[in-house]
Amino acid sequence: MRQIPYVMAINEAFAEEMARNDKIFIIGEDVQAGTFRATTGLVKRFGPDRVMDTPLSETVVAGAALGASMCGYHPVADFMFADFMWCAADEIFLKTAKWHFIHGGKVQVPIVLFGNIGGGARVGPEHSQCPESVVWHTPGLKLVVPSCAGDAKGLLKTALRDPNPVVYFYHKRLLGLPGDVPDGEYTIPFGVADVKKEGKDVTVIATSYMVQHALAVAKELEGKISVEVVDPRTLEPFDIDTIVKSVQKTGRVVIADEDTKRCGVTGEIAMQIMEKAFDSLDAPIQRVAAANLPIAGGYMEQYVLPGPKDILAAIEAVAKK
């Protein structure tokens, strides 16, 4: 086991899988330099034919990746910021997500749609979103949201071997976070949640960067409230069984995600718990999510995005019921 930063774990996964499969290539804006260092250095090893810079056109990135995928390649379409995926919405949501089904299963569409998510960098409303709910709402797309270095690498390797389109969202506030990464070859299966911390009083279901906040709050509450932290790791496929098992143990639930509260990830997870574990609940579910506002730039960002204090307040509220 080694400790390396989250972004370096992603970079390692790319390098290992590109060496394993010469059909994998990366296409996007500034991928040769690597804006967030996820693809830094790969062009030196694999060449410009497999790490290809494009003009500032997300439509070109998505369309080229889609065409190549149907010709036997396994492209990675890097959108830099996940927010920019909406510029290529037709190629992603109407074509990539659906063409396997439209063509009666005769066409495989193995693409990794790769984007950086989240606030905390004060870069404004067009570069700070966590748009998981729109992706999750779209049949035909798998959705990966790793919260630590080990998961970031193992899940990306799985994505790069999947014959279906996978959306891989990595959080800008996790880039430099060191974490344990196993030595040698490993992958992490989709649809298997991870209990990051065991507890008996309250279940916190958290995604991506919110997992780190939840773990910090759980540590702060040790000796007062025993918090179990569950990380779904993938939203599609979604492991509701592990979550239900935790809810049956604790009877109290907080759901934390950086997408908006309205029509967001927290609402969908809450409803699935209500449908499958209502009788186990001893208190109303508490949700922690972004406000229903554009994400402000600069100092005002903190008033829109959720943080540790919001998770703490939600845990304390549900524990008193």
DSSP 54-99: --S-HHHHHHHHHHHHTTT-EEEEEEEEGGGGGGGHIIIIIIITTH
pLDDT digits (tens, 9 = 90+) for 8-34: 999 999 999 999 999 999 999 999 998
pLDDT digits (tens, 9 = 90+) for 109-132: 999 999 999 988 787 778 878 999
Residue 127 appears among annotated catalytic residues: yes
**pLDDT value at position 203?**
98
Q: Give me the catalytic one of 74, 100, 127, 213.
A: 127
Q: pTM of the entire structure?
A: 0.96
pLDDT digits (tens, 9 = 90+) for 147-196: 999 999 999 999 999 999 999 999 999 999 999 999 999 999 999 999 99
Q: Is 139 left (phi over 0), alpha (psi -120 to 50) or beta?
A: beta
Reply yes or no on whether the pLDDT at 307 is more than 90.
Answer: yes
Domains, in order of start, for the chain:
2-181 (3.40.50.970), 194-320 (3.40.50.920)
pLDDT digits (tens, 9 = 90+) for 71-113: 999 999 999 999 999 999 999 999 999 999 998 988 899 999 9
